[in-house]
Amino acid sequence: MADILAENLSGKAVMGSDGTELGMLYNITMDLKTGSLSDLLVTPNEELSPAQVPFDRDESGRFHVPVADVQAVKDYIVVRT
């Protein structure tokens, strides 16, 4: 995957590989020691049932999507679901 600046990802829509609109990118977590990215924090789509999404949620209800599950970044961030 080509390099993409994090500022270009802010507020981008996140979609599952099955076409489900999961929500909007809120933030990205990283390991401060290694600099590697860990998870995308996604604010869920209001119409989405938690049972439809295989990702863990934090106390704010945001999904933690492992960076390894990102398949493509274009108009949407597409993640493996």
User: Domain coordinates of the chain in residue numbers?
Assistant: 6-79
Is 3.90.320.10 the CATH classification of the domain at 6-79? no
- What is the rounded CA–CA span in Å between residue 66 and residue 17? 14
- What is the rounded CA–CA span in Å between residue 30 and residue 46? 26
pLDDT at 49: 84
* Beta strands 77-79; 13-16: pairing state: parallel
- The pTM is what? 0.85
pLDDT at 80: 96
Dump pLDDT digits (tens) for 3-49: 655 666 778 999 999 999 999 999 999 999 998 989 999 999 999 88
Contact 28, 9 (CB under 8 A): yes
pLDDT at 59 over 60: yes
pLDDT at 64 over 60: yes
Contact 43, 74 (CB under 8 A): no
Tokens 């493996």 belong to residue:
80
